[in-house]
Structure 1
Amino acid sequence: MRKLIFFVFLLLLLLTGYSILNKVSHNVELGKSIYSIVEDVNNTEISIKTLTDFDWDKGFLFTPYSTQKGIDEQLGVHFKDPSNIDWRDDIYLLVFMEDDKVVQYVEIDRQGADFKLGEKEYLTPYDDVIIIERY
């Protein structure tokens, strides 16, 4: 009986550790920084690298109503979208990856604007500009 209890305890410990290690962080502070840039109507671009204090090699911008399937296909990995963007039109979702793993995400309030990456598929630390298009 002791072995069974020990085995169950060990299994729970491993599962808990695994879920803690794989938790993707919602970067609220970055969202606030982006909000303040968009709030100034004179700004037409956001340079993301200047606002980040973590390592990333790709940043993907998802539009309102993006589907879970579309997000997974574009990222190349499964990322359970916690923002439910597929039902929302008030935010954009910015997902950061490092070494093909999602590391952080940001919900960007629209504030009367749309956001574009231009011709690029995703952001990099060397090509990090998001274009603000006001409506």
Structure 2
Amino acid sequence: MIKQIAVILLSLLWIAGCSDSNIKRNTELEKNLHSSIIMVSDKSESYLYLSTFVEFEWDKAFLFEPYTTQADLEKQLGVKFTDPSNIGSRDDIYLLVFVNEGKAVQYAVIERLHTTFSLGDQAYLEPSNDTLYIER
């Protein structure tokens, strides 16, 4: 009986260790992006370089529009990612997800602020090509 309980506990710990629960919401990045977006509010079109705000290792950053489904998130990311923002049912935010070495590592919620964000014609950003476009 004790062996069975030990096996069950170890299995639960293993399953928990394989989840994406260690993905960090980067609220500092959110604040910095929000401030910068407001500062460029007088322009109809502008852009930000993401690398000026990011202080952690990443090799890809994906931007998801309002109403993006969980299935579409994972398909585009190519990794398991449980959406903590519930963007699939929201129209007031964008979701920025950072991937490093094939794992989702951090994310940021970006308030729309009557703004459209895009990556231009790219599917994702990289540190060497990191322009986030802003249109009002």
TM-score, normalised on structure 2? 0.87
- Which of structure 1's runs of 4+ aligned residues deviate more than 3 A? 1-16, 19-22
Q: CA deviation at 1:101?
A: 0.9
1:99 aligned residue: 101
**1:122 correspondence with 2:124:** yes
The TM-score with structure 1 as length reference comes to: 0.87
Q: Which residue of 1 aligns with 2:30?
A: 31
**Equivalent of residue 62 in structure 2, options 42, 60, 63:** 60
Q: Which moved more, 1:6-15 or 1:34-43?
A: 6-15
Post-superposition CA distance 1:69-112 (Å, at most 9, x none): 11111111221111111111100000100111111111000111
* Runs (5+) with no aligned partner, structure 2: none
Local SS of the residue matching 1:46: strand
Q: What is the Cα-based RMSD across aligned positions, in Å?
A: 1.9
User: What is the distance in 2 between the residues matched to 1:83 and 1:21?
Assistant: 14
| Deviation (angstroms), 1:124 | 0.4
Shift in alpha-carbon separation, 1:39–1:100, aligned structure 2, 3 A: same
Q: Secondary structure at the match of 2:33?
A: helix
Provide the identity percentage: 44
Cα distance between partner residues in 2 of 1:118 and 1:102: 22
User: Structure 1 residues 55, 132: CA separation in 2 closer, same or farther (over 3 Å shift)?
Assistant: same
Q: In the alignment, is residue 133 of structure 1 matched against residue 127 of structure 2?
A: no
Measured after TM superposition, the shift of residue 67 of structure 1 is 1.2
Gaps of 5+ in 1: none
Q: Distance in 2 between matches of 1:120 and 1:130?
A: 10
Distance 1:76 1:15 in 2: 20
Corresponding residue to 2:114 among 92, 96, 112? 112
Structure-1 residue corresponding to 2:72: 70
SS at match of 2:66: coil
* Structure 2 counterpart of 1:49: 51
CA distance, structure 1, for counterparts of residue 8 and residue 57 of structure 2 = 36
In 2: Cα distance, 1:65 partner to 1:20 partner: 24
